[in-house]
Structure 1
Amino acid sequence: MNRTIAARNRTVSLILLCLLGLVSWGPAEADVRLPAILSDNMVLQGGDTVSLWGWADPKEEIEIRMSWSNAVPQIQADDDGAWTFRMAAPPFGGPYEVTFKAANTITVKNILVGEVWVCSGQSNMQWTVQNSADAEQEIAAARYPKIRLFSVDRQVADTPQTDCKGRWVECSPETIPGFSAVAYFFGRRLRKDLELPIGLIHTSWGGTPAEAWTSGPMLRSHPEFEPIIKRYEDAVANYPKALVQYRENVKKWEEDAEKAKAEGKPAPRRPNAPLGPGHHHTPSGLYNAMIAPLTPYAIQGAIWYQGESNAGRAYQYRELFPTMIRDWWQSWGRNNFPFLFVQLANYLAVKDEPGESAWAELREAQLMTLELPNTGMAVTIDIGDADDIHPRNKQDVGKRLALWALARTYFKDMVYSGPLYSFMNIRGDEIVLHFQHVGGGLVAQGGGPLKGFAVAGADRKFVWAEARIEGETVVVRSEKVAEPVAVRYAWADNPVCNLYNQAGLPASPFRTDGWPGVTADNK
């Protein structure tokens, strides 16, 4: 009997050892995992090589089955468990499915192939359909199952991330209210004209500067951006002290807000959190968390609405903004993909006399960025709001961006830009201005005389000028300036101006002089 029990115990022990061996020393299999951007309802960029990627166990084999192909490729994860499969995109249309099989199986469904655009910037890109003009009608009509929407959750990171949070959804009255209005109206116009599926990847954050969207290596490789990095490093060093002061300020604000509420008055503005670790102004912080994870994903191009947070450093923006664009081109590994941006709208009070303006200088920096290849600019100097930095008319913003894309990327025959200043010549006491993109002819919108032009002599003192259209030029003069040397147009925060082309697109603000502006020394 004892021998029987002993034998039984030895058998149980052997079984337990075998089970422990399977658990401890057998081949470990990790579930295959995909990034958030590769998920149901996604749009793949058509006519291009696209990447599918993810993670598994180191050296694990992943089998990929595609509904449009009989081929069943197998790839192996690397030593860290990462894997990438590059392939030619299937034909435009869909829906398609892709199945990934390793220790587990994932099937991504309802995939379309069409045109994919990244939509980024600060609050005017973040601004939603439900808060824009004609919201109720726009939301009710937003039933476009072949427009797909992906919103990146707002995060900050110290190092480039490989994944983000978000999901693809079909465009519908249920999904569109909280989506970017500019992105939606841009995508809707593309869908109408191209009749192809459209994928919109929205990644924006209100109140953020361009340096937050630029990679660390790119910022550090340019000496002119050292002040940006040093300012942040100093803020981090001072953060503990600044945080104590911030908490005291918040406590006082809460008391003042409660008092204002009791008196029926508007609450004072809440104090801003100090710049420091995890702040959304952190240089490269948003690039790391909200751009880097997207860069393996094939796209057609990007649209961008930002600049308000850099207006006080407009001269620096002349270098910073093009640097950010080149950074994105390099990060995606696609030189010169279309990058279309919105020039800042009119804002703040109208001034009676010509003067200096940081916002005008920021618009100038944006205009200068058109020197980069395959860039485009939607002028919005006519659709802003003096009292609100977030104008509600996002329909025209999206439309004007889409015109650039349709004409320059998709080769549609249409006028896509308002007049852009080209060069000038002096003719006696007049200056003759020449333009590109006259769009069938120059016009004074609304009739009447041209407005918004100022002229100066060698003393650099600008006065309002008379302006008239002569063919494809504008002639400017003032009785107060006998020998004019420079002209400015719409050079103000909120200029009164009315130069358009026959296609109904406004001229960009500009100046012919290069005299130092109010932000020239701001770094």
Structure 2
Amino acid sequence: MKNMPSLRCALFFLIGAFSTTTSQAEVRLPGFFGDSMVLQQQKELPIWGWADSGEKVTVSLGDETGTTTADDQGKWRVVLAARNASHQPVVLSVRGTNTIELKDILIGEVWLCSGQSNMEWTVRSSSNAADEIAAADYPMIRHIKIGKRPSPVPLDDIKSTWQVCSPATAGSFTACGYFMARQLVKELDVPIGLVNSSWGGTRVEPWTPPIGFQKVDALQGIHESVMARTPGTERNQKLASKHIADIQAWLAAAKVAIADDKMVSPSPAFPSQLAPFKTHQDPTMLYNGMIHALVGFPIRGAIWYQGESNHAEGMLYTEKKKALINGWRELWGQGDFSFYYVQIAPYQYGQEDAEILAQFWEAQAAVKDVVANTDMVVINDIATLGNIHPPNKQDVGKRLALLALKNDYGKDVVAQSPEMESVSIAGDSLTITFKNAGGGLKTRDGKSPTHFELIGVGSNGYQDAVAKIQGNTVVLTSDQVTKPTAFRFAWGKLAEPNLTGGTGLPVGAFRGGDEPDPMSQLSVDEGFRLVYRLDLSKLGKTVRYDVDNSDSIETFGQITYVLGLRSDAYGDQVVKVTMDAFTDDVKKIGIPTASSGADFQTNLSSMKVESTVSGIVLGNDITTGNIEFWPNNYGPDNGAKVKGASGRQFDFGDQKGPPKDGYGSMQIHNFGAKQTIFAINHWGNAQTADIGIGNSSGDNKDWTFVGNAKSYSEKTLAIYVK
């Protein structure tokens, strides 16, 4: 009797083992195949899933049947013939060792809906929600919401449930998708399936597959990072093998040390490049968990509403969208399926410079010009400036539907917002000709067009323009700009312009012409040669100059620094400082990074200062100049005993300290006037660098800790020698 528990355990183990080795796995479909789903019309219909290796699987859709056998991995796939849309439901059945039967399947149009919170935004959170939900009796619209699931590796299955549109269900649908689908149902009278894979607050990178990054030159850094973390890749294996070799070498050395009663050195750290991505904001994580399993499921196209979380990146976003769209398309194997997206709305974005969002709108608009079969919806007329989620999703959905109706379904409708076709300049006026004007330009309120600005040589930045509509053109003039060279429209984060096409579609932010370079306002003295030129938006621990002629410079006796800034708040600001050379090493006159070896805190016996900024003390022979160029951290103590420096606030007399590769200071001062002429600090992070001309208005006159770099739409440093 004492042996009974052991016998019972052994018996149960044998029964379990026998059951495991003799039972067969059930035939299984992906978890997003379900009752009430919509399958794409006019495309071959692949049906796939899993079963035991070698198991025969029969698939039937209505009166069509196909048969296959599961492969060595237990995967099977049957491709059924394309069929036209129909209101008549059909049954999808799959038979193997078991039978799966999915009912109420419709054939129609399927759209993937993806992006961040404005795509996830529901009908119940939209304008006029109660009435919209009560009227949502559209059983031909079907919706499936993909669960939020990041993953460091591609997942082959997704489980979710299709819902038939009704007042009981529509409130939880993606509002952009629902209002688009409602318009399509009315116009086309076909079933519409919405596959809603969206997640609020997400960046574009996590939605992008590796192959998307691989094929965009500007994103090779991201691709290399992904490959390092992907098992089986050459990059991953090389890093892993090196780490293993390092560990083995350490083990051998550690054993020797222990045997000799010596200290054991720390073991090699696990390489951070090999550590798997962890968050839903990391590259590929949402593609892997929320898109990959859908790849191959036939769709007509995709709609996308995202960008708020990437909005400070300017034209780099265009490259990231190229990676997303082309990556999806290549993996889907459906050619260049349609991709329609929403330009994000005007919004406050705190104290951020107003032009940052305008530059992002420009980057969004550029996508449709460089990626085939894409188009953009403009919504600057339905914004809520204090709410990043405009509740009017009805117009968003309708405008998305117009693009599909025109481009995918051959309807004769005006779908695109008016765009610039050409620009011409004659005397003191500039004329913009538009395409897609919808029968002629107009304004929503019947007043003159707003939010146009002009710039010209000597105009000190952009000036408000008077705009007059003449058919499909707008003519601009300004009393402040006698010779215009360029214009811009709606160029600010709070811009809600009134210009539309004849059908009411709004005109989005854009600019044209040739902007004068802020730097050109101050000419460089004769005989000086350009050594370095740098767009300061490219600052970083490693500085890569746009122009670097230092290798061709042998000797020099004078140096000129020119800093040009452009911002919405202050217009164009330029300062030029010329001084006797403080070093004979041309490699040390640029940004004083740790690698450059530059380290100077010295007075200047003769300094020439010119500037367009009021308040700057100008002069040709200023004897009270000094520089503080170093890569170090620094404090406000006046260690160099600079006359007039406070010793309590950061100004023209600071004390450098460790570490050597620290915060960093590149400052030129006139200590006699207690004035910073210009400062570039903390260049290790381009977005939070400190940049300014003249004294900062804060406590620290030398701009330390201001972190204002992103407040400038343009920022350029040029360095010359003679």
Q: TM-score of the superposition, structure 2-length normalised?
A: 0.61
The C-alpha deviation readout for 1:364-418, integer Å capped at 9, x for no partner, is 1111111122111110011111110011111000011111111111011111122
* Structure 1 residues 1-400: aligned runs within 5 Å: 23=19, 26=22, 28-69=23-64, 72-93=65-86, 94-226=88-220, 228=222, 277-348=277-348, 356-371=354-369, 372-400=371-399
For structure 1, which segment, 172-181 or 145-154, has the greater mean C-alpha deviation from structure 2 after superposition?
172-181
Following superposition, the deviation at residue 68 of structure 1 comes to 2.7
Decide whether the 8 Å contact of 1:469 with 1:475 is kept in 2.
yes
1:267 corresponds to: none
Q: Which has the larger radius of gyration?
A: 2
Q: What secondary structure does 1:334 align onto?
A: coil
Deviates more, 1:513-522 or 1:124-133: 513-522
Give the alignment of 1:403-418 within 5 angstroms.
403-418=402-417
Q: Which residue of 1 aligns with 2:431?
A: 432
Counterpart amino acid of residue 71 in structure 2 = D
Point out the more displaced range, 46-55 or 510-519.
510-519
Q: Which structure: greater strand fraction?
A: 2
Distance 2:538 2:454 in 1: 21
| Higher mean displacement: 110-119 or 468-477 | 468-477
C-alpha change, 1:499 and 1:25, in structure 2 (3 Å) is closer
Whichever residue aligns with residue 346 of structure 2, its letter is N
Q: Is the 8 A contact 1:315 1:519 kept in 2?
A: no
Distance 2:147 2:444 in 1: 42
1:479 aligns with 2:472: no
Q: After superposition, what is the alpha-carbon deviation per residue over 1:304-331, rounded to whole angstroms, capped at 9, x for unaligned?
A: 0001111111221021112211111112
Task: Give the superposition deviation at 1:114.
Answer: 0.4
**What amino acid does structure 1 have at the position aligned with 2:24?**
E
SS at match of 1:361: helix
Deviates more, 1:294-303 or 1:511-520: 511-520
1:22 to partner: Cα distance: 7.1
- With over 3 angstroms needed to count, the CA separation of the structure-2 counterparts of 1:500 and 1:227, relative to structure 1, is same
Regions of 4+ moved over 3 Å = 18-26, 220-223, 226-234, 275-278, 513-523
Question: Closer, same or farther in 2 for the Cα pair 1:232/1:495, shift >3 Å?
Answer: farther
Q: 1:156 to 1:434 in 2, by over 3 A?
A: same
- Paired amino acid for 1:146: M
Task: Give the SS at the match of 2:314.
Answer: helix
Following superposition, the deviation at residue 284 of structure 1 comes to: 0.6
Consecutive unaligned residues in structure 2, runs of 5 or more? 1-13, 229-274, 518-534, 540-685, 688-722
Q: 1:471 to 1:373 in 2, by over 3 A?
A: same
Contact 2:212 2:328 (8 Å CA) reproduced? no
Q: C-alpha separation between the residues in 1 aligned to 2:488 and 2:108? A: 43
Instruction: Work out whether residues 490 and 509 of structure 1, in 8 Å CA contact, stay in contact via their aligned partners in 2.
Output: yes
Judged with a 3 Å threshold, the aligned counterparts in structure 2 of structure 1 residues 147 and 518 are, in CA distance, closer, same or farther, namely: farther
**Are residues 1:463 and 2:463 paired?**
yes
Residue 156 of structure 2 aligns to a residue whose secondary structure is coil
Amino acid in the other structure paired with 1:476: L
- Match of 1:468, SS state, is strand
Query: TM-score, structure 1 length as denominator?
Result: 0.83
User: 2:423–2:513: 8 Å Cα contact kept in structure 1?
Assistant: no
Separation of aligned partners in 2, 1:361 and 1:131: 29
2:338 counterpart letter in structure 1: P
Please give the alpha-carbon distance, in whole angstroms, between the structure 2 residues aligned to 1:518 and 1:373.
Answer: 33
Q: Could you give the per-residue CA deviations for residues 409-455 of structure 1, whole angstroms, max 9, x where no partner exists?
A: 10111111221122211111111111110001001221121101001
CA distance in 2 between partners of 1:68 and 1:55 (Å) = 23
> What is the rounded CA distance, in whole Å, between the counterparts of 1:385 and 1:327 in structure 2?
33
Tell me the distance in 2 between the aligned counterparts of 1:154 and 1:289.
8
String of CA shifts for 1:499-523, please: whole Å, max 9, x gaps. 1011011011101157699967769
How many residue pairs get matched? 461
Counterpart-to-counterpart distance in 2, 1:172 and 1:483: 60
Deviation at 1:163, TM superposition (A): 1.1
Letter in 2 for 1:360: A
Q: Distance in 2 between matches of 1:414 and 1:224?
A: 37
Distance in 1 between residues matched to 2:159 and 2:502, nearest whole Å: 45
CA-atom RMSD in angstroms: 2.7
Compute the displacement of 1:179 (Å). Answer: 1.6
d(CA) in 2 for partners of 1:330, 1:427: 47
SS in 1 for 2:375: strand
CA displacement, residues 313-357 of structure 1 (integer Å, 9 cap, x when unaligned): 122102111221111111211121110000111112899xxx752
Give the direction of change, closer, same or farther, for the CA distance of 1:19–1:483 in structure 2 (3 Å limit). Answer: closer
Distance apart, 1:228 and its partner CA: 4.7
CA deviation after TM superposition for structure 1 residue 19, in Å: 9.2
User: For residue 32 of structure 1, what is the amino acid of its counterpart?
Assistant: V
Deviations 1:141-196 (A, max 9, x none): 11111100011001001111111121111011111112211111011111110000
Distance 2:343 2:361 in 1: 6
Structure 1's 419 and 21: CA in aligned 2 closer, same or farther, altered over 3 A? Answer: closer
* Residue of structure 1 equivalent to 2:499: 499
Aligned equivalents of 2:426, 2:402: Cα separation in 1: 36
How many angstroms apart in 1 are the aligned matches of 2:419 and 2:507?
6
What secondary structure, in the 3-state scheme, does the structure 2 residue paired with 1:312 have? coil
**1:73, CA displacement in angstroms?**
2.4
AA of the residue aligned to 1:282: D
Asked if 2 retains the 8 angstrom alpha-carbon contact of 1:183 and 1:398, the reply is: yes
Change (3 A) 1:227 1:45: same
Alignment match, 1:238:
none
Deviations 1:35-77 (A, max 9, x none): 12211111010011111010001111101233233xx422001
Q: Distance in 1 between matches of 2:537 and 2:313?
A: 6
Identity in percent:
39
| Rounded Cα–Cα distance in structure 2 between residues aligned with 1:36 and 1:360 | 42
Distance verdict in 2 for CA 1:82–1:444, change over 3 Å: same
The aligned amino acid for 1:225 is L
Structure 2 partner of 1:246: none
Q: Measured at CA, do residues 495 and 232 of structure 1 come closer, stay the same or move farther in structure 2, by a change above 3 Å?
A: farther
- Residue type of the alignment partner of 2:145: S
2:161 partner amino acid: R
